[in-house]
Amino acid sequence: MFRPSLTLRLTLAFTLLVAITSALVSVSLYRSLYAELVWRDNQTLVNRGAQLRQLLLDGAEPQALPLYFNRMMDTRLDVLRIDRPGRGTVVEVNQAGVAIPGMAPVPAGTPPSARLLHHWRTAHGEQVAGLALRGSDQVGDVTISVARVSTDRDRVLARYRQNSLIISLVAILLAGIASPLLIRRSLRAIATLSLQTARTDSRQLASPLALETLPTELLPLGQSLNVMRQRLAEDFSRLTQFADDLAHELRTPVNILLGQNQVMLQRPRSPAEYQALLGSNIEELEHLTRLIENILFLSRADHRNVALNPQRIDLARFIGDVVDFLEPLAEERDLRLEVSATGEVEADKLLLQRVLTNLMTNALRHAPEGDRILIRAEPVAHGVTITVANRGAPIDHPEKIFTRFWRGDDARHSPGTGLGLAMSQAIATLHRGQLGLSHENGWNRFTLWLPRS
């Protein structure tokens, strides 16, 4: 399949534009020139007819008019005939051999004008303009007929057409030759941009492309490429950090399993010791299973490959069930769970329960002993909000709180894997909602907003 290059397409378009422009200019100028020449010929014919009539009126002899006529007009192309009623033709100058048809003469008291001219063509197709005027001399009335053949005018117009055609062809040829050279020169910026993009690797993503040399038309493309490079750099950095964190999280339980089994095999053990080892192995394997399931869920959520099962949820009853489930954990630290919930929401019940459990578990872990935890749910504009708040110091680096495997104290020995808040945010996004953190008057508040439907 033939795919013309951009250079060829632009060359054809520019050449076609030049051809159309040349044709329009040539036709427009030709029509203007034609109208001007016709107007000048007609005015000349009218003025000279009026002059000849005035000469006869001033007493000139009809036989003397050819002398004036030869000075005023070109006898090769102009015709003069003077007729006297009842006596025939008195004077005739007609070297062009033009047959003058019958023309109604302009009365003696009426000034001649171009609209009174008569037009016809000769046997050879040449245009002729003529005018008949009623006049008088010392003898009596006469009819003055003047005419002009358009031979000279046609010759001028023919030369103009020929010259216009030659100039247009030269312009089109130059456009066809010069356009590829100019276009290739102008497209060097695209080639440079393509080369820079092709040479980009993971180490150069953070360095933006130089846009100073780009033409104005390519600036949006260059800016878009820089935005894309920045996003790729951020994604690559997150992916690298995620891989490092994942390796660390997986290495710890694997090392525990490996170490426990190696120690156990160093000498014979009792059945009770083997049972204890198997129980410990199962616990670590369950931890690994949960970690892998959470990572797979986040991966599917990033690609929106999680099927939701939305249903109407009464928030008061729903939050009450979660609170009842976590009440034993609160009693261990002498914490009070204060609930105030109204309204309904349409969401996936299991996923929403996972979010609320993560937020409340996080609050139970960091709230001061003997204090209280506030759980609020209320309708707002276009949706509902669910807030879980506990007293505490402001969280360091709040912008990283929803990053996978990140923990506030950056300690690997703290409970959890650092995926709970990341999963909660992913679930909020799947529901077209938002999850945010704020600190007000000594309280850390996690607020989940969900749309009404």
- Look at residue 417 and tell me whether its pLDDT is greater than 70: no
pLDDT digits 0-9 by tens, 315-338: 999 999 999 999 999 999 999 999
Strand bridging mode 310-314 / 344-348: antiparallel
In the chain, where does the domain assigned CATH 3.30.450 lie? 6-157
- Distance from CA of residue 274 to its chain's centroid? 69
Cβ distance 441 to 393 under 8 Å? no
The CATH number that domain 217-302 falls under is: 1.10.287
CA distance 219 to 210: 10
Query: For residue 137, what are the contacts with CB-CB under 8 A and spacing of at least 6?
Result: 56, 57, 59, 60, 61, 62
**DSSP for residue 67:** H
Q: How far apart are CA 99 and CA 118, in angstroms?
A: 13
Whether 345 contacts 452, CB under 8 Å: yes
DSSP code string of 98-147: PPPPP-PPBPTTS---GGG-EEEE-TTS-EEEEEEEEEE-SS-EEEEEEE
Split at pLDDT 50, 70, 90, the class of 410 is very low
**pTM more than 0.75:** no
DSSP string, 297-339: HHHHHHTT-----EEEEEHHHHHHHHHHHHHHHHHHTT-EEEE
CA atoms of 282 and 289, how far apart (whole Å): 10
Which residues in the chain are classed under CATH 3.30.565.10?
Answer: 310-451
Cβ-count burial of 184 within 10 angstroms (0-12 exposed, 13-18 middle, 19+ buried)?
Answer: middle
Residue-wise pLDDT tens digits, 67-104 = 766 666 666 788 888 888 878 888 888 887 888 888 88
Q: Looking at domain 6-157, which CATH architecture does it have?
A: 2-Layer Sandwich (3.30)
pLDDT digits (tens, 9 = 90+) for 164-201: 999 999 999 999 999 888 888 877 877 877 887 777 77
Distance CA 81, CA 5 (A): 69
Enter the CATH code of domain 310-451: 3.30.565.10
